[in-house]
A and B are shown apart, each in its own frame.
Chain A
Amino acid sequence: MNSILKYILKNGLRDRLYLGLFISIAVAFAVSIFLGTTMIVEQSQSAIVYSLATIRTILSIGMILFVCININRAFENKEIEFILSKSISREKFILGYLLGFFIANFLILLPITAIVFLVFAVNKIGTLFWFLTTLSENLIIISFALLSSLILKNSFSAILASFGFYALSRLMGMFVMAIDMPEDYSSISQGGLASALKILSVLFPRLDLFAQSSWAVYGIKDNVVLLIILFQSIIYLSLMIFMAFHDFKKKQF
């Protein structure tokens, strides 16, 4: 498993994941500070919010691309068959890959959060929870990207599926709200659309609650949301991993 971990981390270097994401985030950081300074008041708070939201988005997109392209290449180059020919179980193989991607994500996010702490006067506890929930959000996305790459075996389809999953999960708050929308606004609550939205909200995680940039400015006002995030992460991550185990066990090479 250690060799898989090292292999994934080195892949990050080879694919220039770290460099690419650092440069993108540095540019986003500079633009955020510039946009923040153009505000009439609350320049610093605006720069914090712009920075955190763009860091989260860039990191999520970057990790989806990295995971999907990596797994697809491993299939194409017969690397997966080669690794599985060694004395390693398929479960360990998936956990190794997952852990490798997660550590790569952690290695990028940690120094960036440290820079945010150093540059801005942020709410420390709020930013710490932003960091932790961004990690768990990325872990869910990484596990979905891994699962979709294993199932679809095509990088383009896996990337599209993962982007779709991320967008829908981030929209889940609106979907849940739309179910109870007043009747004078739309016919959603009466028709079959409400049931469809309900089914979607059962299947997708509530990523809209994760990594709120407001926490770094105003702190966390509702502690219950942290519990929801914790349980959501544990449940959904387990769901993804077991699904990946099941799918990979059935696969013939």
Chain B
Amino acid sequence: MKNFRLFFYIYSHKIFFWLFVLVFVLQIFFWRIAEKYRINYDIVPPAPSKYFVKGASFGDEEFLFRVLVLGFQNSGDVFAGFVSLKKYDYSRVYDWMTILDTLNRESRIVPSLASYYYSQSSNPQHINYVLKYLDEHSSVDIDKNWWWLFQATFIAKKDLEDLDKSLYFAEKLAKNQAKEAPLWTKQMPAFIGERKGDGCMAFKVIKNLMDESESGKRQISVEEMNFMRHFINNRLSKLKNQNFNPKQC
């Protein structure tokens, strides 16, 4: 025992040095194994459940909404540029938008992101998710959300080139009773219908509006009335050539 203590006393610095070398080599081997375990990076992480969100808010749902929406807005930021929207998982984008709506339905942030940012994807399936969200968000209160229905009408027409879908949103948009909504929100089905080649429908929408004005149900400015008269006359002269009979509408 005494010999061992003496041996340790004399050679301890060498023992510790070789132990250090051994552990260093072990660390290198460990690194070889551990480097395969990488953190998964999701462009859009899965949306949390509404129960998790309720708990994580610690009672202040508005704060959590603003924090989550900041992350949602910046998803795809990979610290060295942004990922193309076509690589996003839009089913998750849709889930995020839906869950954020449960925290705050009044805010304009989420429908703005959907309309102006996430709708820029070149993949039609992605745009369908955006339109689905805009439809659900706006349908809760059309009078408050008529602008987002207009956006949906526009996106479906321009980006998706789906006039049936665009007409669906335009018809929904025309149902709004908001005082601040301009008259063209009522005329939108006529414009889309006309683009679709459904002259009868376009004619009917404008005629209904003019009838409402003449019966005093709706106040329409002289300029708007002139525009609508011009619209009808213009279309009628076009449709006359196609043997169109407005009475059949």
Q: Which residues of A contact B (CB under 8 A)?
A: 35, 38-42, 45-46, 49-50, 52-53, 56, 167, 170-174, 177-178, 181, 185, 207-214, 217-218
Contacts and interface: CB of A to CB of B under 8 A. Distances in A.
Interface in B165-212: none
Nearest to A186: B51
Given A35-B70, A217-B62, A42 B107 contact: yes
A50 B63 contact: yes
Q: Which of A38, A49, A50, A211 has the most chain B CB within a 10 Å cutoff?
A: A49
A208 B59 CA distance: 4
Given A178-B51, A181-B51, A208-B58, A40 B112 contact: yes
B14 interface: no
Interface of B is mostly: helix
- 9 smallest CB-CB distances across A and B, nearest first, come from A208-B59, A214-B62, A53-B63, A170-B58, A174-B55, A49-B66, A174-B54, A41-B112, A170-B59
Contacts of B107: 42, 45
Among B62, B65, B112, chain A packs the most CB atoms within 10 A around the CB of: B62
B108 A207 contact: no
B51 A41 contact: no
A211 B55 contact: no
A210 B59 contact: yes
Range for the number of chain B residues in contact with chain A = 20 to 34
B60 interface: yes
B109 interface: yes
Contacts of B116: 40
A35 B68 CA distance: 12
Contacts of A52: 63
A49 B51 contact: no
Nearest to A173: B59
A212 B51 contact: no
B27 interface: no
Contacts of B113: 40
Contact of A40 (B55, B73, B106): B73
A56 B104 CA distance: 20
Contact of B54 (A49, A53, A173): A173
B11 interface: no
Contact of B109 (A40, A171, A210, A214): A40
Nearest to B117: A40
Contacts of B66: 46, 49-50
Interface in B48-85: 51, 54-55, 58-63, 65-67, 69-70, 73-74
A49 B62 contact: yes
Given A173-B54, A174-B54, A185-B51, A42 B109 contact: yes
A38 B54 CA distance: 25
A107 to B, nearest CB: 24
A212 B60 contact: yes
A167 B70 contact: no
Given A38-B74, A40-B73, A208-B58, 18 more contacts: A38-B73, A39-B70, A40-B116, A41-B108, A42-B108, A45-B107, A46-B66, A46-B109, A49-B65, A50-B66, A50-B67, A53-B63, A171-B55, A173-B54, A173-B59, A207-B59, A208-B59, A212-B60
Nearest to A174: B55
A213 B60 contact: yes
